[in-house]
Amino acid sequence: MTAHTLDVKPSVLGLEFIEIVAQDMDYIRSYLNQLGFTLTSKHRRKQVYLFQQGHTKIIVNASDDLTAEAYFNELGVSIYAIALRCHQAADVYHNAIELGGWDKSNHSGPMEINIPGIEGVGGTSLYFIDQPRENLSVYDIDFVELDEPEASTSMIERFTAVNFTVEKQRAHALTLWLQRLLGLEENKNSVELLDGFQIRFTEDADNSERCDYVNVLSVERSKDSQSQSLPSLENSAFLIEG
């Protein structure tokens, strides 16, 4: 069934999770705990971990996947994938492919969910996740719950934006390209989803050799943490600001 025959048009609803690549899980766990995230689940067969703070999710990929390892070796701790919550994820994916997107789906193992996706900017992945149906989500199928201590603080209410640094004269074109692939209204400044999450592109003023990666993850702070400084993340390609 194509998107054109659906009673309800496929749509991107908002951010589902941010995925980062890392190697030192002890350090990353400690850092995310300081931000208020609790390790809740581990993938059934990979070194991939789910951290949550309320409804905000971040996945840490510490697996031996060659592509993820290469991304880490080039940038250090970095944002590797952005997953978008969708109504009819498969149809959002097929529409994007028809409009010129490159397939970069996450092909699963036995009894796991295939996650459709396309290649994003700079080798990142853009995944499309169906909103939970009948109280069953991808985490219930692909992950095993862990009994870990809950983080003692709460600093992050939600993620509000990612910003890619890109080469000069590319920001506007990339914004229009992604809006078109996702079926969103054109806005020259950013790609904005229904939940307010934004994907932004900022041109590199210094003509650096390395562009096309996320350099800022913007957050909305919890009320109780407004006066506190956000902890810094070492060996990281991006800053957390909010």
> Token pair of 37, please?
């995230």
Q: What local confidence, expressed as pLDDT, does residue 26 receive?
A: 94
Cα-based torsion angle of the residue sequence 153, 127, 121, 9 in order, rounded to the nearest 10 degrees: -110
**CA distances from residue 208 to 163, 165, 177, 195 in whole angstroms, order as listed:** 16, 10, 23, 33
Rounded Cα–Cα distance for residues 173 and 56 (Å): 30
Each residue's pLDDT, cut to its tens digit, for the chain (242 residues) gives 344 444 456 689 999 999 999 999 999 999 999 999 999 999 998 999 999 999 999 999 999 888 889 999 999 999 999 999 999 999 999 999 999 999 999 876 655 678 999 999 999 999 999 987 777 788 888 899 999 989 888 999 999 999 999 998 899 999 999 999 999 988 777 999 999 999 999 998 776 767 899 999 999 999 988 888 999 898 899 999 99
Rounded Cα–Cα distance for residues 184 and 191 (Å): 8
Q: How far apart are the first and last CA of the chain?
A: 42
Rounded Cα–Cα distance for residues 226 and 49 (Å): 28
Q: What local confidence, expressed as pLDDT, does residue 226 receive?
A: 85
DSSP per-residue string spanning 30-90: HHHHHHT-EEEEEESSSSEEEEEETTEEEEEE-S--HHHHHHHHHHSBEEEEEEEEEESHH
Which domains does the chain possess? 3-145 (3.10.180.10), 156-241 (2.60.40)
Q: What local confidence, expressed as pLDDT, does residue 141 receive?
A: 86
Q: Rounded to 5 degrees, what are φ and ψ at 184?
A: -105, 160
The length of the chain, given as a count of residues: 242
Rounded Cα–Cα distance for residues 230 and 188 (Å): 30
Rounded Cα–Cα distance for residues 199 and 189 (Å): 9
Which residues touch 147 (CB under 8 Å, ≥6 apart)? none
Q: What local confidence, expressed as pLDDT, does residue 42 receive?
A: 95
Burial bucket for residue 11 (CB in 10 Å: 0-12, 13-18, 19+):
middle
Residue linked to tokens 């702070």: 221
For 116, half-sphere exposure in the C-beta direction (CA atoms, 13 angstrom radius) is 17
pTM: 0.91
